[in-house]
A = this chain, B = another copy of it.
């Protein structure tokens, strides 16, 4: 299924007048409207292939209807999202859940949908049928060299798939860790991981990056071998310039000041990218912006400040990706909500009066600094986000239009009610 552009245009037409009024008012407070709109227009967030189906927990999964059954259908779904919001122009594949057997055909389908391929993701946290060694006790950190070599080989194979599709980065998330004190020698686990990553690093094409994710716990509940940004940074430093740290918003202990970590990683030139989601407890993988939107804004505030300080391109110099688990919402709608929330936070961050903020900071005028941030945050930036979407051919209101056009109903008709996408 693809959405006819005229349908989106029709939907926009109904809301256009009201939108224009709101935009005019919003514009009054924005200094450099065109720049803001231009930045919003070029901003894209990758969609992971595994997020297009219903997710679950260890207690169960409740599937939805019309889930994509093949990689092609997953591309189709991202195409639908991108058609609606014009901000999701890439897909991030997970191997082996989504092996592209026929790379040229897949690439061609993607191109047709206006999509390209973001980072490829390896999986050494599950055993696949017929696999020689088990990852029950880890992969790149494993005490047994044979297991490590198998995991390294898998990562190199994932790079190969990525090369065929035009990806430029390998994203590595390890569940390696331990459930009980004594199970692991932390130092050796770290050294084994480093050695394994060095092997993978050596196999990276010249223009590729490797992104090293960290996470404090789950699925291991005593230790994780790459547990925090410091450990990921240490590995990335030892690996070299092509390695950097990937931040998943849900991969932090409660209370962690994530925005400060973002600032420091940017300062050190080691911020690879983001996995967006939101959480109240642990790695809850809820829709980004649904629990603590102010934190999301504060993170974007650091991103804008830190990237500008290094003359980085907001749209392309950091890998932006959603990584959530849509357990009870329609995955496509949830992804549309996610991208909207991200763009809203980004727009708010763009509106921050940096010069005034800098001055307030220099004066330790804490109350004023807060006012400046909240002035931007409390602004209703939805008209700006809508205008950016409109100008690039998307829907003024992607979520509403998704509903209005009965997208899910059509997908169910096409694919059936009892489909289950690969993934968690």
A259 interfacial contact with B, CB 8 Å:
yes
Contact indicator B281/A218 (Cβ below 8 Å): yes
For this chain, the copies found in one complex come to 4
Contact indicator A180/B370 (Cβ below 8 Å): yes
Contact of A255 among B21, B217, B333, B357 (CB under 8 A): B217
Contact indicator B230/A260 (Cβ below 8 Å): no
Which residue on B lies nearest to A229, using beta carbons?
B230
With A183-B369, A254-B254, A286-B222 as contacts: A361 and B59 at CB distance below 8 Å: no
A355 interfacial contact with B, CB 8 Å:
no
Chain A 249-264, CB-CB to B under 8 Å as 1, else 0, gives 0000111110110011
Residues of B within 8 A of A281 (CB): 216-218, 221, 255, 282
Contact indicator B305/A181 (Cβ below 8 Å): no
Contact indicator B257/A255 (Cβ below 8 Å): no
Of the stretches A34-42, A163-171, A315-323, A372-380, the one at the interface is: A372-380
Contact indicator A180/B125 (Cβ below 8 Å): no
Contact indicator B185/A361 (Cβ below 8 Å): yes
Which residue on B lies nearest to A325, using beta carbons?
B58
Contact of A187 among B58, B264, B280, B362 (CB under 8 A): B264
With A58-B424, A125-B60 as contacts: A181 and B378 at CB distance below 8 Å: no
Contact of A57 among B218, B280, B330 (CB under 8 A): B218
Contact indicator A367/B221 (Cβ below 8 Å): no
A179 interfacial contact with B, CB 8 Å:
yes
With A255-B216, A382-B378 as contacts: A221 and B279 at CB distance below 8 Å: yes
A1 interfacial contact with B, CB 8 Å:
no
Contact indicator B328/A370 (Cβ below 8 Å): no
With A59-B424, A286-B179, A370-B180 as contacts: A186 and B362 at CB distance below 8 Å: no
With A62-B127, A255-B281 as contacts: A182 and B221 at CB distance below 8 Å: no
A380 to B25, CA, bound (A): 12
Residues of B within 8 A of A233 (CB): 230, 234
A290 interfacial contact with B, CB 8 Å:
yes
A116 to B259, CA, bound (A): 43
With A253-B256, A255-B254, A305-B185 as contacts: A180 and B222 at CB distance below 8 Å: no
Contact of A282 among B222, B266, B282, B334 (CB under 8 A): B282
A253 to B255, CA, bound (A): 7
A45 to B344, CA, bound (A): 31
Chain A 45-77, CB-CB to B under 8 Å as 1, else 0, gives 000000000011111101000000000000000
Max chain B C-beta neighbours (<10 A), residue from A233, A281, A371: A281
Contact indicator A370/B219 (Cβ below 8 Å): no
Which residue on B lies nearest to A341, using beta carbons?
B374
Of the stretches A79-87, A149-157, A291-299, A387-395, the one at the interface is: A291-299
Nearest chain B CB to A255 CB, angstrom units: 5
- Which A327-342 residues sit within 8 Å CB-CB of chain B? 327-330, 333-334, 337
Which residue on B lies nearest to A333, using beta carbons?
B367
Contact of A58 among B57, B181, B337, B369 (CB under 8 A): B57
A314 to B298, CA, bound (A): 32
Contact of A337 among B219, B255, B358, B370 (CB under 8 A): B370
Q: List 20 A-B contacts (CB under 8 A).
A: A58-B325, A62-B135, A137-B328, A179-B284, A180-B369, A181-B294, A181-B301, A183-B364, A186-B263, A186-B302, A187-B263, A191-B267, A222-B286, A228-B228, A253-B253, A254-B255, A257-B280, A290-B370, A333-B367, A367-B399
